[in-house]
Each structure stands twice: as C-alpha cells, then as structure tokens.
Amino acid sequence: MKQQEQANRYFSSAAADWQKKSINASGGYSVIGGRNRAVMDVMARIENAKSFLDVGCGTGQLVIEAARGGLKSDGNDFAPEMIVQSEANAKAAGVPAHFFGGSFFDLEFEDQSYDVISAQGFIEYISPQETDEFFARCFRMLRPGGAVVVGSRNRLFNVFSLNDFTRLEAEIGTLGTLIAEATALNQSSTTEAAFLALRRYERIDPQLGHHPITGIPVTTRYQFSPADLVYRLRRCGLTARTLYPVHFHGLPTAFTVEHGDLHSEMASLAGEIGLRDHRLVPFSSSFVIEARREAACP
C-alpha cells in the first residue's frame, strides 16, 4: 500500500530525528511522552504483570522504561534503523530489553504470552481492516486480565480544530455523529458512565479519503473516534476500561501556531491534572484507550 510504503520510507530514514522527539530534546509538550505515561499508568494497575510488548516501538524508550520496572519487555518495529537505535538505547540504559524487526503481521506470537500490549502511533499507519486483525491477535496474545493499550489520532478533535479536517468531515457527513459522541463524553461524570454513553454511538465510520499532512510526510494517517475503537475492541472480546486524553488544545489551532509556548504549557498542565479525564478527549488531538481481555473472541 502507498500509505505503508511512505511510512516505511519515512521511519527508515528518521531514526535520529525520532530519537530526539522520543527523549523530548527540544523541550515543551511531548505527544510521545503523553502516550507513554498512559501506558505506564496501565502497567501499574495490572496485578502481577510480568511481560510487555510494544508494537511500533520506535527508538525503544517505553520498552526500556517497562524493563526498568522489572517486566520482561519486548519491542517490535518494521524499520530496521529503529531497532538499531533501540538496542543502543537499551545497552546505554543497562536493561535487558529485547527488540526485533519486521511487520507485526508477519510474526508468530504464542497465545497468552503477554500481560500488556502497547501500540502507540501504530494503527494510523495500517488499514482499518488490519486494525481489526491487530485487535483479534492481541486478544489471543494476552493473558486473561491483560490489557491492550492503543494510541490513536483523535477524530473527535476534527470537530473543534476548525481547519481542513473539519471541512473534510463536513463533506462526508460525519460531523453530526462526532459532535453527539463528543457531547456524550463531556457530559459523563465518571469513566464508567462515559463508556456506557458511548454504547449508543458505537459504529465504524467511513474514513476520510486523504488527510492534510501534519508533520509526518504520509498522505493517509487514519483517525478514529473513541466509540469506533471501543466497538472494534469489543467485537474481539476486549472491554474498554480507561480513556486518556493526549495533547490537549486549549487554544484555537491557528493561535496555537502563533503562541507555541503558551499552548505547550497548557497541554502539559492538562496532561498532569487530567491524565484519565475523559472530558478532555474531545479537545485533544490524540487519545489512548485501555481495553482488557475478558471474553471469547467471536
């Protein structure tokens, strides 16, 4: 697929730049750091967690952090340069993290071999059909009570960004449903109430035909709303438990570009005080969702 060829080309040549992003060398708010913090929060709440897999591990910081916490930690990425950088980072950190290259879909994993599986910045580069296959495989790979933790570009944010993404949603007629879903999240006082409210909006939305390029030169980077992912997860026996907002936008997008320091400060503060606050999700450009293995996959 053109999308995956573009992604492979970019990430194969961007290991050094991605390393800087992963360690937040430039300072300010870090989307990678926000997603990783959500994953670590999930790991801390899984009783007796012993094993961890990060799919699309990039330069390996999350895998290394999990290994520091005593978990048997594996990382997979399809870009060989990322694996080389990950191994160098693990060696420098002095932790026994394990990294392996290749496409996740070409690899063989034992059933019930992991307690936590993470995929941050991964499903945007595979097709929606492959996302469903990924969730089905995660179900088989997770031990009972284990969790898959998935980061996604946030389609609900297209309602509030008031830019080309908003215009494209208007063209395909999805704005009304996205607004209704965002309203349900914002009016739910607890996480349990939020997921109950989302049941009304569970669906698979038509995807946008193309996406404006924002930072990474890949023309199609898929987005999902929480209700869409909850539905896909539930069909594979995975029950959504927690919703994490990532990269809160408290300013209009045009104003954000002009006042980056203020935007970064607001995003960082929201990340600290609203780690699990689902009400911030509609106003965040990404989110992370945790789902547990609790039922048989159909």
CATH code of residue 278: 3.40.50.150
**Which tokens sit at 106?**
């070409």
Tell me if 149 is assigned to some domain. yes
Say yes or no to pLDDT of 5 above 90.
no
Question: In this structure, are residues 69 and 43 in contact, taking their beta carbons and an 8 Å threshold?
Answer: yes
CB 96 within 8 A of CB 74: no
Quick one: average pLDDT of 79-84? 95
For residue 17, tell me if it sits in a domain. yes
pTM, rounded to two decimals = 0.95
Q: Is residue 95 part of a domain?
A: yes
Task: Please indicate, yes or no, if residue 12 is contained in any of the structural domains.
Answer: yes
Number of H helices, E strands in the chain: 13, 7
173 C-beta neighbours (distance < 10 Å), count = 9
Task: Give the mean model confidence (pLDDT) for residues 165-193.
Answer: 96
Expressed in angstroms, the distance from the first to the final Cα of the chain is 28
Whether residue 201 is contained in a domain is answered as: yes
Instruction: Give domain status of residue 256, yes or no.
Output: yes
b/e string for 9-41 if b means 16 or more Cβ within 10 A?
ebbeebbeebbebbeeeeeebbbbbbbbbbbbb
- Measured from the Cβ of residue 126, the count of other Cβ atoms closer than 10 Å reads 21
Nearest to 285 by CA among 244, 242, 247: 247
Cα atoms in the 13 Å half-sphere on the side-chain side of 266: 15
pLDDT for the residue numbered 295 = 54
pLDDT at 84 exceeding the cut of 90: yes
- Per-residue confidence at 206, pLDDT binned at 50, 70, 90? very high
Q: Is 56 exposed, middle or buried (0-12, 13-18, 19+ CB in 10 A)?
A: buried
The torsion region of residue 100 among left (phi > 0), alpha (psi -120 to 50) and beta comes to beta
Say how many residues make up the chain: 298
Q: Is the pLDDT of residue 15 over 90?
A: no
Cα–Cα distance, 99 to 185 (Å, whole number): 37
Residues 6+ apart with CB under 8 A from 234: 202, 240
Confidence bin at 1 (pLDDT 50/70/90): low
The pLDDT of 209-233, averaged and rounded, is 88
Contacts for 268 with CB less than 8 Å, ≥ 6 apart = 28, 29
Q: How confident is the model at residue 133 (pLDDT cuts 50, 70, 90)?
A: very high
Q: Indicate the number of domains in the chain.
A: 1
186 Cβ contact list (under 8 Å, min separation 6): 279, 282
Percent over 90 (pLDDT), the chain: 83
Weakest-pLDDT range from 3-17, 92-106, 195-209: 3-17
Instruction: Decide if 298 is inside a domain.
Output: no
Residue-by-residue DSSP string for 74-98: EEEES-HHHHHHHHHHHHHHT---E
- Show the domain range for 204: 2-293
- pLDDT value at position 11? 83
